[in-house]
Amino acid sequence: MMDTQNSTMSAGGDPGSNQGFDTGSNLSLPKGPLLPDNPEDTKCYCGKERDLTVAEFQCGMCLRFYHAKCLECSIGECVPFMTNYQFFCKRCSVSESLNKRLASFGQMCLTALANLAQQSPGETFFSRDKDIIPFIEANWENLTTGPRKVKQTWHTTIAKTMMKDSAIFQYKEDSSGETVFGLMNLDLTKIGPNCESLFRLTNASFRTAEMQKSTSTDSKGRAAKRKGQSDGPLMKHKRGDVSSTRTAPKAYPQEHPFNKDGYRYILAEPDPHAPNWQAYDESIEWAGKPIPPYLYRAYLEPKVLLALHDRAPQLTVSDDRLTVTGMKGYSMIRATHGVSRGTWYYEAVIKAMPSDSATRIGWSQKLGNLQAPCGYDKFSYSWRSRKGTVFHESRGTHFSDGYKEGDVIGFLIHLPPLATDSLTPASYKTSPARLYGFCSQIKSGHGALA
């Protein structure tokens, strides 16, 4: 059981001190050592020039680029030439702040092409299937905060995106007849937040096309405009749209189940030993009717891994389901298997933990709140990395020194057996079953899905 805290949520000064500025008329900011003597100096804190082989972030106020390794705020995993972020340096604000945003397909293609061009000097055009798509798939979590897509239709979407935005991308057919893509502006030093708008403004052909499009639209008149608005179908957000969230390639279910508030479910699978299950599948009389619960059973993983159905949806789980990353505040994930008796022990490795973030790891019952830190309620117990505090019901007690990045920490628990304990797991054969996407759920008063 573990949870992570976003650096932007936990960043702050010493709780015992107050930081601020005088509100008088003679307000002036002291010139610290980070400010360059020459206002026209555009170098990083370290005083070195730009390095296009590593990730750099552009300040939204002074427009200087800063190397990722020179920043003190939490940045997570990233790649060069990212544009979906907002960053303010220590020269322009009290403290550094970096906020990553959901990247569009256009931004992802721009970053991919820029990296491919930087890695292959002299090459300006790249294949969608051989170069661009493999780069995006290999760096998806680094390119955007959104989840991976289950369906492969996004391959066609990125091609249409690059063909449509002629101010940023260009394309042609190579000698084999394949369509290849490249950047209109090959100056990679210009790539940064909001650079797409700048490229469109400086592209003469794009401005001409936009003016012609605007003139053509205005000439149709108000009646045509009203007709165009009424002819198109209404775009409604379907509840099933959330099923496009990808989990892991070898996981069950392949889609992440999202529950309504107040409902608790247990992940289920078809029971191959259920009587007359084949007759139910082949009968049309059961179409649209509730599923007989005896046809399903509670799903049990063959190995102990991180549970994809028992986690906060904002957490990112690796494909091997042994590593979890959190970037958006405290939230929780549990393992696929629980313990009810005996003595058990497990270890966890802290692979990455910036100085302004924290982690709580421990033990949790299945009713523990997933949208809160471990140790928040009476169903969980945790040990915090910061100051080594242990928590239960949100009450902290000093236990030992904290742990940090690179440490291996272990947790042992001893549970005495009870006379009423059953050695077999609950089957929930009497609970109603509900279908969701490619998986099934058994409605019950126990267990929880994020």
pLDDT of 200 higher than 90: no
3 state SS of 185: coil
Beta strands in 291-432 (DSSP E): 296-298, 306-311, 316-317, 324-325, 331-335, 342-349, 359-364, 380-384, 389-392, 395-398, 408-415
Residues 281 and 207 both lie in one domain: no
pLDDT of 254 higher than 50: yes
pLDDT of 152 higher than 70: yes
Tokens of 320: 């091997």
Residues 293 and 144 both lie in one domain: no
pLDDT at 74 (0 to 100) = 79
Residues 164 and 90 both lie in one domain: yes
CA–CA separation, 392 and 381 (whole Å): 5
Confirm if 347 and 409 have CB atoms less than 8 A apart: yes
pLDDT at 273 (0 to 100) = 83
Last residue of a domain, one of 213, 228, 253: 213
Percentage with pLDDT > 70 across the chain:
68
Query: Which residues does 30 contact at the CB level (< 8 Å), separation at least 6?
Result: none
In a domain, 25, yes or no: no
In a domain, 231, yes or no: no
Mean pLDDT of 119-143: 90
Which residue has better confidence, 436 or 407? 407
Residues 200 and 97 both lie in one domain: yes
Residues 388 and 278 both lie in one domain: yes
Mean pLDDT of 114-125: 90
pLDDT at 131 (0 to 100) = 92
Last residue of a domain, one of 169, 188, 213: 213
* Residue 295: alpha-carbon gap to chain centroid: 35
In a domain, 202, yes or no: yes
pLDDT tens-digit map of 15-71:
333 333 333 333 333 333 455 555 556 788 888 888 888 989 988 888 889 998 888
In a domain, 91, yes or no: yes
**Average pLDDT value over all residues in the chain:** 75
Residues 209 and 85 both lie in one domain: yes
- The residues pairing with 267 across neighbouring beta strands, listed in sequence order, are 441
pLDDT of 338 higher than 80: yes
Residues 323 and 433 both lie in one domain: yes
Confirm if 303 and 312 have CB atoms less than 8 A apart: no
pLDDT at 14 (0 to 100) = 37
Mean pLDDT of 231-239: 43
In a domain, 235, yes or no: no
CATH of the domain at 96: 3.90.980.20
Residues 292 and 428 both lie in one domain: yes
User: Which residues form the domain of 184?
Assistant: 1-8+34-213
pLDDT of 124 higher than 80: yes
Mean pLDDT of 248-270: 61
Residues 170 and 75 both lie in one domain: yes
Q: What is the largest CA-CA distance in the chain?
A: 85
pLDDT at 4 (0 to 100) = 54
Q: Which of 164-173, 304-313, 438-447 has the lowest mean pLDDT?
A: 438-447
Confirm if 178 and 107 have CB atoms less than 8 A apart: no
pLDDT at 246 (0 to 100) = 53
3 state SS of 19: coil
In a domain, 27, yes or no: no
- Confidence class for position 341, pLDDT limits 50, 70, 90: confident
Last residue of a domain, one of 152, 178, 213: 213
| Domain count for the chain | 2
CA–CA separation, 343 and 363 (whole Å): 13
pLDDT at 223 (0 to 100) = 46
CATH of the domain at 370: 2.60.120.920
pLDDT of 8 higher than 80: no
Residues 166 and 291 both lie in one domain: no
In a domain, 430, yes or no: yes
pLDDT tens-digit map of 75-107:
878 889 988 888 888 888 888 888 888 888 888
- The secondary structure of residue 151, as a DSSP letter, is S
Beta strands in 49-178 (DSSP E): 56-58, 65-67, 85-88, 97-100, 126-127, 169-173
CA–CA separation, 82 and 139 (whole Å): 12
Residue keyed to tokens 């690059």: 162
Which residue has better confidence, 151 or 289? 151
pLDDT of 217 higher than 70: no
- Confidence class for position 355, pLDDT limits 50, 70, 90: confident
Instruction: Please provide the distance, in angstroms rounded to a whole number, between the alpha carbons at the two ends of the chain.
Output: 14
In a domain, 342, yes or no: yes
Query: Which residues does 98 contact at the CB level (< 8 Å), separation at least 6?
Result: 8, 57, 71, 73, 74, 75, 85, 86, 87
Residues 437 and 306 both lie in one domain: yes
Residues 178 and 300 both lie in one domain: no
